[in-house]
């Protein structure tokens, strides 16, 4: 992998991490288009640069991490993913990461599910985003964490899973978007930390440099992506993202067949 590849993948990660379209899925598809071999380093790269995007949350929402009540809810939401992630880490990295077929199926099915959900889901008008987060209960946080675990499958989208899960258990739209941002911090920090512990010794000096390029790029781009999503959800549904997922999966499927 070259530094240019890392820069491109960093942009892809930064744009897609917080949108309900699966950043991991996009990284796998982008890597395929760029012709990057599916090595253990690439898999680790795809995991680690997501933490770069997540660091944008700390920059923009650092005050939220000073709220003890909110930290408790984040911890509760993180527990299901931590347990399931530890159990299935090896399986996911060995058989699912880098698997284009799994990504395309998850993108397609997830796109349909997102559209159907938005057509059926009704929500009352709600006030500003910052005023809503603490309305999430401990039980709702746990349910959101369980939904987040589904996103271990590449192509599902952590953002989509947590947002839809939150809406299903009664969390307001703008509230769950922000909670999804915050929940991503311990989730991706743990995922990256686990992978580094298991794989870092195998990285060469040049690979560490490539990883740094992708990490920083993802962080910078994610700052703008987060701001876009916060504004978007106040006046729009996620149906456009569902349509995009379906179009992307069908287009890549036809590309593979051809």
Q: For the chain, what are the domain ranges?
A: 3-257
Which residue carries 């922000």 as its tokens?
178
Q: Which residues of 47-65 are buried (b: 16+ CB within 10 A; e: fewer)?
A: bbbbbbbbbbbeeebeebe
- Tell me what the mean pLDDT of segment 174-179 comes to: 88
**Total-model pTM:** 0.85
Average pLDDT, the chain: 87
Contact call for residues 106 and 113 (beta carbons, < 8 A): no
Asked if residue 239 has pLDDT above 90, the reply is yes
Contact (Cβ atoms closer than 8 angstroms) between residue 58 and residue 65: yes
Q: What is the DSSP string of 87-137?
A: HHHHHIIIIITT-HHHHHHHHHHHHHHHHHHHHH--------GGGTGGG--
Which residue, 135, 161, 149, is CA-closest to 69? 135
Share of the chain above pLDDT 70, in %: 94
Could you report the per-residue pLDDT of 49-99, keeping only the tens digit for each? Answer: 988 898 999 999 999 999 999 999 999 999 998 899 888 878 887 778 778
Compute the distance between CA of residue 174 and CA of residue 111 in angstroms, rounded to an integer.
20
* 171, 140 Cβ separation under 8 angstroms: yes
Among candidate residues 35, 19, 44, 32, the one with its CA nearest the CA of residue 214: 44
Q: What is the DSSP letter of 19?
A: T
User: Which of 2-11, 41-50, 125-134, 249-258 comes out lowest in average pLDDT?
Assistant: 125-134
**How buried is 165 (Cβ within 10 angstroms: 0-12 exposed, 13-18 middle, 19+ buried)?**
buried
Model pLDDT for residues 112-145, shown as the tens digit of each residue: 999 999 999 876 655 544 444 457 899 999 999 9
Q: Is the pLDDT of residue 219 over 80?
A: yes
pLDDT attached to residue 132: 44
Does position 11 have pLDDT exceeding 70, yes or no? yes
DSSP 1: -
């Amino acid at each position: 992998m070259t530094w240019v590849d890392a820069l491109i993948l960093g942009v892809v990660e930064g744009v897609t991490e917080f949108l309900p379209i699966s950043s991991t899925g996009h990284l796998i598809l982008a890597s395929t288009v760029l012709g990057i071999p599916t090595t253990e380093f690439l898999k680790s790269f795809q995991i680690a640069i997501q933490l770069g995007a997540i660091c944008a949350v700390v920059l923009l929402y650092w005050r939220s991490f000073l709220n003890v009540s909110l930290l408790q809810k984040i911890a509760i939401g993180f527990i299901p993913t931590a347990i399931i992630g530890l159990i299935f880490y090896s399986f996911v990295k060995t058989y699912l990461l880098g698997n284009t077929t799994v990504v395309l199926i998850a993108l397609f099915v997830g796109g349909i599910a997102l559209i159907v959900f938005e057509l059926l889901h009704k929500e009352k008008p709600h006030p500003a985003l910052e005023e809503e987060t603490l309305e999430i209960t401990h039980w709702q946080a746990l349910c959101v964490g369980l939904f987040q675990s589904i996103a271990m499958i590449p192509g599902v989208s952590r953002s989509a899973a947590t947002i839809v899960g939150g809406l299903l258990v009664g969390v307001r739209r703008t509230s769950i978007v922000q909670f999804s941002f915050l929940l991503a911090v311990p989730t991706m920090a743990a995922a990256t930390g686990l992978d580094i512990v298991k794989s870092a010794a195998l990285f060469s000096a040049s690979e560490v440099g490539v990883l740094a390029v992708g990490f920083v790029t993802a962080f910078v781009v994610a700052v703008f992506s987060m701001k876009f999503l916060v504004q978007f959800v106040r006046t729009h549904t996620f149906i456009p993202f569902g349509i995009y997922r379906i179009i992307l999966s069908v287009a890549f499927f036809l590309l593979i067949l051809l």
